[in-house]
């Protein structure tokens, strides 16, 4: 199945060993903001594919009488193999996916964010366990996967975004005691909007649209050089906090 097009994914570590899981996970990730119901469905689908792979490749797992997802994850050998934390996360993904598919109840963006966040935890933990146990991967493979994931804290922040008031407070300090121009206020508001949606921000984005729509030179055309340095410093501090 061809991989869905789109921006870089936090699920790239699945591509080599679990291409079908990777496909569904990437779709879930991409649709979080656009279509929460579809995102929750694809998160459940990714979990279903991953669990099916586990049963086909782990001889220690006993296939239950019924082979639907709920029966598979509740089977005692499965629960013992993955541990309580992963089981609970898998159950959350299943329940949110079922709600999205089988009910007309509105699916909140928060639900989709939760499903994708828990999917990351489950697939990362279980791929690591299965690669090692099955002798498919080495410790070096696991290290590479963790590097490709770009850090769990940053991943979660990118999904849930940053609290708007926290973002405004961070840059309120930046503007305190100054008499900012209309362009400066608009520029900072755009940064707050980006942080609210994405959680972190690469300072290089300041030199792209919509920031360059205010001034073609980006922040240098709106702020003094010391102010630009301070702006970048605040963004780096927010990123470091998320990664901690």
pLDDT in tens, 30-83: 898 889 999 999 999 999 999 998 898 888 899 998 889 999 999 999 999 888
Nearest C-alpha neighbor of 113 from the set 199, 9, 36: 36
Residue 237: band (very low, low, confident or very high) from pLDDT cuts 50, 70, 90: confident
Cβ proximity of 7 and 143 under 8 Å = no
Residue 81 · residue 58 · CB < 8 Å:
yes
Q: Which of 39-43, 88-92, 139-143, 167-171 has the lowest mean pLDDT?
A: 139-143
Place of tokens 């003094």: 224
More confident residue, 17 or 8: 17
pLDDT at 91 over 80: yes
Sketch the domain layout of the chain as residue ranges: 12-160, 164-243
**Averaged pLDDT of the chain:** 81
Q: What is the mean pLDDT of residues 19-23?
A: 91
CA–CA distance, 235 with 141 (Å, rounded to integer):
32
Task: Assess contact for 209 and 171: CB atoms under 8 A.
Answer: no
Q: Who wins on pLDDT, 230 or 148? A: 230
Task: Indicate whether 97 pLDDT > 50.
Answer: yes
- Amino acid 113: pLDDT: 86
Contacts of 120 (CB under 8 A, 6+ apart): 10, 11, 25, 149, 152, 155, 156
pLDDT at 148: 54
Mean pLDDT, residues 159-176: 69
Measured at the CA of 75, the angle between CA 71 and CA 80, to 5 degrees, comes to: 145
* Predicted model pTM: 0.58
Report the share of the chain in percent with pLDDT over 90: 35
* Confidence at residue 134, expressed as pLDDT on a 0 to 100 scale: 56
């Amino acid at each position: 199945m061809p991989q869905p097009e789109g921006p870089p994914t936090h699920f790239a570590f699945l591509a080599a060993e679990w291409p079908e899981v990777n496909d569904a996970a990437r779709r879930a990730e991409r649709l979080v903001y656009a279509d929460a119901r579809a995102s929750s469905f694809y998160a459940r689908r990714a979990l279903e594919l991953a669990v099916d792979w586990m049963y086909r490749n782990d001889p220690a797992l006993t296939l239950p009488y019924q082979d639907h997802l709920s029966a598979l994850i509740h089977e005692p050998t499965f629960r013992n193999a993955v541990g309580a934390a992963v089981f609970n996360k898998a159950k959350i993904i299943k329940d949110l996916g079922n709600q999205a598919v089988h009910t007309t109840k509105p699916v909140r963006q928060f639900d989709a964010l939760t499903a994708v966040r828990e999917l990351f935890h489950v697939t990362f933990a279980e791929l690591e366990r299965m690669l090692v146990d099955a002798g498919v991967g080495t410790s070096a493979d696991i290290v590479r996967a963790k590097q490709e994931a770009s850090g769990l804290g940053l991943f979660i922040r990118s999904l849930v975004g940053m609290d708007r008031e926290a973002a405004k407070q961070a840059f309120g300090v930046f503007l305190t005691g100054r008499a900012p121009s209309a362009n400066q206020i608009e520029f900072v508001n755009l940064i707050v909007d980006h942080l609210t949606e994405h959680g972190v921000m690469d300072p290089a984005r300041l030199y792209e649209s919509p920031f360059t729509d205010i001034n073609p030179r980006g922040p240098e055309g709106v702020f003094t050089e010391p102010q630009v340095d301070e702006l970048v410093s605040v963004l780096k501090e927010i990123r470091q906090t998320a990664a901690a």
